[in-house]
Amino acid sequence: MQLSKVTYALVAAGLIGGVATFYHQLDGSPVGAAIAATQPSTLPAVAPSAAANLPDFTALVDRVGPAVVNISVVHGKGKGGLDLEDLDEDSPYYEFFKRFGGVPNGGGMRPQPPAQGMGSGFVVSPDGYIVTNAHVVDGASEVTVKLTDRREFTAKVVGADKRTDIALIKIDAKGLPALDLAAKPAVKRGEWVVAIGSPFGFENSVSAGVVSGLHRALPNGQMVPFIQTDVAVNPGNSGGPLLNAAGQVVGVNAQIYSRSGGYMGLSFAIPAEVAAKVADQLKTHGKVQHGRLGIGIQALDQTLAQSFGLTDANGALVGTVERESPAAKAGFKSGDVIRKIDGAAVTDSTDVTSRIGNTAPGTAIKIEVWRDGKPVELTATVGTLDDGKVAKAGEADEPKGKLGVAVRPLTPDEQKAGGKSGLVVERAGGAAAKAGVQPGDVIVGVGSTKVTTVDELRAQVDKSGKTVALLIERQGRQIYVPVKVG
């Protein structure tokens, strides 16, 4: 059916009338006045009961905002162009320019300005100490701090710790508003949190969200149990505070997960407790000494936990114990499952690396391990971590069990050269291959029991049930690999 010309005219008139009404309301015409008389002049306010259910961070931002600072850094001094030293002494031009005072006008090359960067930070004491990320000030030749009252100061880097990505800087100022980093408030998944910082240089920007997860392990943050949030954090937010609804510092914004370089819904903060310990050491000593036990650990999964007789997968499995290390002196053994540290339950391997790594060397700690089906308490004195020995959570390299492997004992020469014993895997198939065992792996033990002969290996596998926890050594590292043989 086709619409008549009259119908088109009516439709057109209605559309035009609607647009005209909007503008007539603005100019006070009779038509506009008639419409206005039947409609409210302003939108109704949100009901108080509904507004009460929404978070309001205005008071928090007014109180906390002045303690958050913008940090700009300069890396290097730039390059002014081509100099005499840029020419090879064998160059035909070297002697010529040397005689005549160097390369004129920088050799016609445009000078390169020094690299610049930007981040955030927050004041932690009224006398000018400021916490930020280590990566914000790393390699900086000049650090400038801008306060919310527009004052600017040149800052001194007191110290920086790359392992935790925390730095402490100092400006010459007094009576500054400061945040308490030592309050240690509890953090729960789902609670509201606020980030304040300078994303892309927009100073004192506020964003809010909720805590998405706790104890997150990131590849470049082995000593930090990161707080994951969905707060919008972007380049420039680094070093700014993450605050709870009461305005307490719960973390230091540090990283985002992104494929684009911008915010994608995942942001990570360093817990305030870790930042406070590091900042205190930087202020006192100018550097940080991290603790070390001398063990290699890996995460538990349900399969591994069951093979050790555990009803849950909480804890961290000890794969390697270094000789003469604090752990060795305390009596640790391969196959121990760390369940508690100083009475506090261990959730995963990140718990161990962060707690031990952020414990002052020389501190005596009590560690409960699960061994041979029962809890055992050990006392260890924490050592000092150096660059060559990092006790970190291993990533499974995957070995085997019932097994589908052809093995042979280590030769005397191999034992002497490596200072070890066990069975060399020559071929892997079946359950072992599925678990990731490879030719060349050395099977050191099953569970917490060492094996040096084929008969010993067979006996341990036969009584292990449906899952066998093989301890293998590969490229100098020992790890446990669960092999399903049932």
Please say if 75 is a catalytic residue.
no
Catalytic residue (one of 238, 267, 307, 349): 238
Please say if 397 is a catalytic residue.
no
Catalytic residue (one of 165, 348, 351, 441): 165
Q: How far apart are the first and last CA of the chain?
A: 74
List the beta bridge partners of residue 79: 112
Give which of 118, 153, 114 is closest to 132, Cα–Cα: 118
One DSSP character per residue, 180-222 reads -S-------TT-EEEEEE-GGG-TTEEEEEEEEEEEE--TT-T
User: What would the two tokens of residue 128 be?
Assistant: 């000018």
Give helix 5-27 / helix 30-38 axis angle, nearest 10°.
80
Catalytic residue (one of 24, 72, 120, 135): 135
263 three-state secondary structure: coil
Burial pattern 444-473, b for ≥16 Cβ within 10 A else e, equals bbbbbbbbbeeeebeebbeebeebbbbbbb
Q: How far apart are CA 446 and CA 437, in angstroms?
A: 14
List the beta bridge partners of residue 472: 443, 479
Please say if 135 is a catalytic residue.
yes
Q: Which residue in this structure is represented by tokens 């935790």? A: 164
Q: How far apart are CA 270 and CA 250, in angstroms?
A: 8
The bridge status of strand 166-170 relative to strand 192-197 is: unpaired
Give which of 424, 436, 428 is closest to 482, Cα–Cα: 436
The H or E element spanning position 255 is: strand 249-256
Q: Which residue in this structure is represented by tokens 């009803």? A: 311
Residues annotated as catalytic (active site), given as ranges: 135, 165, 238
